[in-house]
Amino acid sequence: MNGIRVAGLTYRYGAKTALDDVSFSVAQGEFCALLGPNGAGKSTLFNLLTRLFVAPGGQIEIAGHDLNTAPRAALAKLGIVFQQPTLDLDLTVRQNLTYFAALHGLSGRDRVRRIDTVLDRLDIADRAKEKARTLNGGHRRRTEIARALLHDPAVLLLDEPTVGLDAAARAAITDHVHGLASDGTTVLWATHLADEVRPDDRLVVLHQAKVLADGRARDVSGDRPLQQAFLDLTAEPA
């Protein structure tokens, strides 16, 4: 199992429980949607998966590396697209990618080759010299996804990556990331929008700090539309 494994994860902000004994795993090359309403605990889970926070209990493995005992090996396998935009708007697209590559220790020709590859892959090569400030929301997100792929991560985490995008940009990014999973990258896609989840996707529903459902999206939704199934699930007390 070389994707993501989360076991018995609990996290509290003072008296408030943000995650309560959360466990799930995602196989290599699987697209897993983490669906939950606002405040379900998705962002806390992402902060723990990226080691911005550490949980007092539970275990996280990224591509086979324990995040607590081998954080550097785990982080090296992880590509992250944060919900909050993290581009330096005063730098060009290429400069943003170059800076990030350097934070991963990449340099020289290898770095240039990788940057050219991800720019082509995300179809933004023609924007490479533009300042991030001049890009529209969709292209900024593409740049962030390109950046997250620079070091060939085995696992890609995206925290509500389509927030603020129009329908066309949302569809394009959702399609592209599904394609990445088909190519072997493990994807964990946090969202509160059921229409971004496909019937064959793996689905974990998070609500009020707990995992409410875990399985194929078509199995979780049954004969109802996923949106309805999600509303029914999260309407019930956890």
Partner 1 sequence: MSGYVTALIAIVTREALRFFHQRERFVAALVRPLVWLLVFAAGFRAALGLSIIPPYQTYITYETYIVPGLCGMILLFNGMQSSLSLIYDREMGSMKLLLTSPLPRWWLLMCKLLGATAISILQVYAFLAIAAAFGIVMPAMGYVAVLPALVVAGLMLGSLGLLLSSFIKQLENFAGVMNFVIFPMFFLSSALYPLWKMAESSELLHDICAVNPFTHAVELIRFALYLQLNGPALGWTVLAAGLFTTAALWGYSPEGTGIRRKG
Per CB under 8 A, residues contacting partner 1 are 43-44, 47, 50-54, 72-73, 75-76, 78, 80, 82, 84-88, 90-91, 98-100, 102-107
- Closest approach of Cβ 117 to partner 1, in Å? 19
Residue number, 21 or 53, with CB nearest to partner 1: 53
Residue pair 194/213 in contact (Cβ under 8 Å)? The answer is no
- Closest approach of Cβ 223 to partner 1, in Å? 38
Residue number, 159 or 201, with CB nearest to partner 1: 159
- Closest approach of Cβ 208 to partner 1, in Å? 18
Residue number, 95 or 214, with CB nearest to partner 1: 95
CB atoms inside a 10 Å sphere around CB 63? 19
Residue number, 143 or 221, with CB nearest to partner 1: 143
The secondary structure of 59-120 as a DSSP string is: EEEETTEETTTSHHHHHHTEEEE-SS----TTSBHHHHHHHHHHHTT--HHHHHHHHHHHHH
In the chain, the amino acid numbered 155 is: V
The number of CA neighbours under 13 Å toward the Cβ of 207 is 16
CA quadruple 193, 205, 188, 200: dihedral, nearest 10? -80
DSSP code, position 128 = T
- Closest approach of Cβ 25 to partner 1, in Å? 21
CA pair distance 211, 24, nearest whole angstrom:
8
- Closest approach of Cβ 188 to partner 1, in Å? 14
- Closest approach of Cβ 152 to partner 1, in Å? 13
**Structural element, H or E, at residue 171:** helix 167-182
Residue number, 131 or 210, with CB nearest to partner 1: 131
Coil, helix or strand for 26? strand
Residue number, 100 or 230, with CB nearest to partner 1: 100
